[in-house]
Amino acid sequence: MNLRFLNFFNGKPKLASEPDRSHWVDFHSHLLPGIDDGCKTIEDSIENIRELQYQGVKRIITTPHIFKELYPNTPEIIREKLIHVKTALIQNNISIEMEAAAEYYLDEWFCQNFQTMDLLTFKGNHLLVETNYMDRPHFLEQIFFDLQTSGYKVVFAHPERYNYLLNNYDAFHKLYDNGILFQCNLLSFTGYYSPQIKKAAHYLLKNKMISMVGSDIHRINHARVITEFKKTKDYQALMKLNLLNNSL
């Protein structure tokens, strides 16, 4: 590795001994084959993981959907698939740490059952959750409160993607002030989803409200867009935040 490399912003060289703020840990992705809307086959999984490795990701905590109506995954299913993928990584000489947690869909069923469930968390008690994209669940504040008082650190997956928040940035602040951790998707900053989502992502970046970023990779075109995004100033700005990705 070269001892010096170009500073992205001004072209001046800087010492390689400066803190490396590359995206070491990715903890939002759908890389276990055939159990949600992400990778369909083991070959898909390997292709996507190779791309993450190329980007400099050292550790993956993949997060299949758990959504009673659409993806009724269990910890047993997820652990079994993880072993399958890890075996394939060894067979393909891919050296990357891989674990699994989950992305929990907050619905009435989850609210009624979470206290008796074996929830898959990361870094001890961080719990990744999502909601319907269009409608604000009437129980949102209550379930966040219930999860927090049950000892979980609530990580809200891609808050910039919910329609019900896009016209009400004050709601971001209310959630943030209540201790909800925001995980933004790298793709959101590129405009991949929509201009409104890009705008919201940049608002959260500007206001330093992002605790962590994630790839949320479902398929290879996601991974490739992120590879290009990692060459941009926006990505450099993100890496200046005190992200949990660099400490997990």
Which residues are at the interface with Fe ion (CB under 5 A)?
103, 216
Residues 212, 108: Cα–Cα separation, whole Å: 27
Nearer to Fe ion, 222 or 230 (CB): 222
Nearer to Fe ion, 130 or 243 (CB): 130
Please report the sign of the dihedral spanned by the C-alpha atoms of residue 151, residue 30, residue 139, residue 117: negative
Nearer to Fe ion, 21 or 137 (CB): 137
Residue 91 DSSP label: H
Strands 212-214 and 181-185, by their bridges, are parallel
CB of 101 to Fe ion, least distance (A): 11
CB of 128 to Fe ion, least distance (A): 8
CB of 92 to Fe ion, least distance (A): 24
Nearer to Fe ion, 30 or 90 (CB): 30
Nearer to Fe ion, 102 or 243 (CB): 102
Residue type present at position 183? Q
CB of 39 to Fe ion, least distance (A): 12
- Cα torsion through 114, 67, 245, 199, rounded to 10: -120
CB of 197 to Fe ion, least distance (A): 14
CB of 185 to Fe ion, least distance (A): 8
Please report which residue ranges of the chain form alpha helices under DSSP H: 42-54, 75-91, 108-113, 140-149, 163-166, 169-177, 195-206, 220-229, 233-239
Residue nearest to Fe ion (CB): 216
Contacts of 175 (CB under 8 A, 6+ apart): 144, 156, 159, 182
Nearer to Fe ion, 225 or 237 (CB): 225
